[in-house]
Chain A
Amino acid sequence: MTRTLLRGSGAALAVLLAAVWAFPVYWMINTSFQTPGSINRLTPTFFPTHGTLGNYTAVLADNSFLAGLGMSVTITALVLVVCVAFATLASFAIARFRFRSRGAFVLAIIIVQMLPAEAMFIAQYKMLASANLLNSVLGVSIIYLAMVVPFTTWMLRGFVAGVPVDLEEAAMIDGCTRMGAFRRITFPLLAPGLVASGVFAFVQVWNEFALASIILTENEKATLPLWLRDFAQTSNLGVTEWGQVMAGSVLVAIPVIVFFMIVQGRMAQGLVGGAVKG
């Protein structure tokens, strides 16, 4: 009797906590469908029953949003492709070979993940300034690449190690070169790993705000996070258009939420994977 009561109140508590955690997301979506009239009422409107798509059409028609989308897509795609290529090669090296500088390389990619990006901005800014790469896709992409390659390599290493080396050896006996065996046998089996680590890289680059705010200072070079910040601050005669700002937030968040759902099972594993086994 008390047991069922306990379980019941536990369930109630879980639902309550779920409501607390989901509320900001719900409120973002709710507001994004409201007219300025219902937003500015002193009593909030809790359900978008008389909703409008006007906020979304306004944002999508905004040239600076489209420019931001273009920048974000370009940078993310460029970094993602190069990062996955570099990381795959490096993960093959550290998962399959024991070579002299391996230890140093592994140590480097672990330590680099711990370096606070916030403590390197100034130096990266100065470097790009002296190379005339401020406000350029190339400049910001180089830094992003250095930011995501270590973790992607580390994550892919596990996936490569998970493919039995025997398969590659069999292919080599059949006449493949070492690289040929990797390309034909192991690489196709890495698909889940490539998706998972690719999504991680995607989320990091797509969301990145701090470095972009320092390096991409020209308005037409703003990525979506920068666009959203500026958009939220440009008030119309002192009144922020919260409906449109929330519609913008939804549009920035949607790709991330979708990709997050794809790899959610691996999110926790990636970072604390080995801890439980030991």
Chain B
Amino acid sequence: MTTPAPAPDTVGTEPAHPQTPAPTRSRRPRRSKLPLWLILPAVGTLLVGLAYPVTWQIINSFKEYGLAQQFGQPAEFVGLQNYIALLTDSVFWTIAIRSVVFMALTALITMAIGILMALLMKAVPTWSRIVLQVAMLLAWSMPIVAQMTVANWLIDDRNGVVNYALSLIPGVDMVGHNWLVEPLSFFGVAMTIIVWASVPFVAFSVYAGLTQVSEEVLEAAQLDGAGRAQTLRLIIMPIIRPVLVILLLLQLIWDLRVFAQIQLLQDFGAGGERYDLLGTYIYGLGIGQSQFGMASAAAMVVMVLTIAVSWGYVRSMLKEDQES
């Protein structure tokens, strides 16, 4: 390649003054419409599949839209009434707080186990690391519905292997115990399944980060007399911190929006608001009771919450785009 000059219209050559074209770009129109045509199908898809529904949702969260409106009555604007009704409803608060606690606990436990697994993978002989990696890949690739169906079979009250194994402990008889009746136990089961399914992603990502910590740095630390714990805390952790932050954000986002797992557990076990998190609560309001105005307002609350949590991730992605 003899000419280092960038191609017309390519990265980083946006002219400051379109009126004065640089001589090298004269071969083609300065402001090509081509990129706009290229993104048109994608933009169209997003407009139809997301922008339109979200706009509808925002508008309807300010409207009275219940069963009567479903049957033809015009939906009237009621201002903030849906939001006020929601935010003064103790049921909503109970479920919102429960969701946030569930999110935080699940994400933190997943991170803790994932990080420990990654450190373990770094420390053990190769063969045992590969055994662990294959096992985790299997767990990771299970479809959610299959996960939940298998979990339900594992904890089956009569023939489930979990109750059988626990009953082997002297003095414990768990046969016939239903894990999905007591709400705390219900969410414990849900959390266990979600942690089981999310740890592989965290472990693999942290492990990938750990392999990028250079040996020289670790040797230097050792020469300076740092112990294992000190090396971990003062050298390794700061280096992989960016990965950990992003992973934690992703876990928080994903754990806030768990819907399928909870819905499926309710389908298998018991339903009702005692077993609800925000996702299933909105679903119940909207699809179950046709309270579309209220459901839209609740959905907006979740959306704002998610965007608040994920803002850091969005910023890091934008940074990545600018660097490339």
A-to-B contact residues, CB < 8 Å: 7, 10-15, 17-19, 21-22, 24-25, 27-28, 31, 39-44, 85-87, 89-90, 92-102, 105-112, 114-127, 142-143, 145-147, 149-150, 153-154, 158, 161, 165-166, 168-170, 172, 178-179, 203, 206-207, 209-210, 213-214, 225, 228-229, 232-233, 240, 242, 245-246, 248-250, 252-253, 256-257, 260-261, 264, 267-269, 271-276, 278
Structural contact, A275 and B243, CB atoms closer than 8 A: yes
B-to-A contact residues, CB < 8 Å: 1, 3, 6-7, 9-14, 28, 31-32, 34-36, 38-39, 41-43, 45-46, 48-50, 52-54, 56-57, 60, 117, 120-121, 123-125, 127-129, 131-132, 134-147, 149-154, 156, 158-159, 161, 164, 175, 196, 199-201, 204-205, 208-209, 212, 240, 242-243, 245-247, 250, 253, 256-257, 259-260, 263-264, 267-268, 278-279, 282-283, 286-287, 292, 295-296, 299-300, 302-303, 306-307, 310, 313-314, 316-321, 323-324
Q: Is the interface of B mostly helix, strand, loop or mixed?
A: helix
Structural contact, B43 and A105, CB atoms closer than 8 A: yes
Given contacts A7-B123, A207-B144, 15 further A-B contacts (CB under 8 A): A14-B128, A18-B136, A22-B134, A22-B135, A99-B36, A107-B314, A117-B259, A121-B286, A142-B45, A165-B7, A165-B11, A178-B34, A232-B149, A249-B145, A261-B137
Residue in A39, A97, A154, A233 whose beta carbon sits within 8 Å of that of B34 in the complex: A97
Structural contact, B306 and A119, CB atoms closer than 8 A: yes
Structural contact, A18 and B34, CB atoms closer than 8 A: no
Structural contact, A127 and B314, CB atoms closer than 8 A: no
Number of A-B contacts (CB under 8 A): 355
Structural contact, B282 and A146, CB atoms closer than 8 A: no
**A178, A206, A269, most chain B CB atoms within 10 A:** A178
Known: A119-B282, A257-B141. A146 touches B263 (CB 8 A): no
Nearest CB in chain B: distance from A257 CB, A? 5
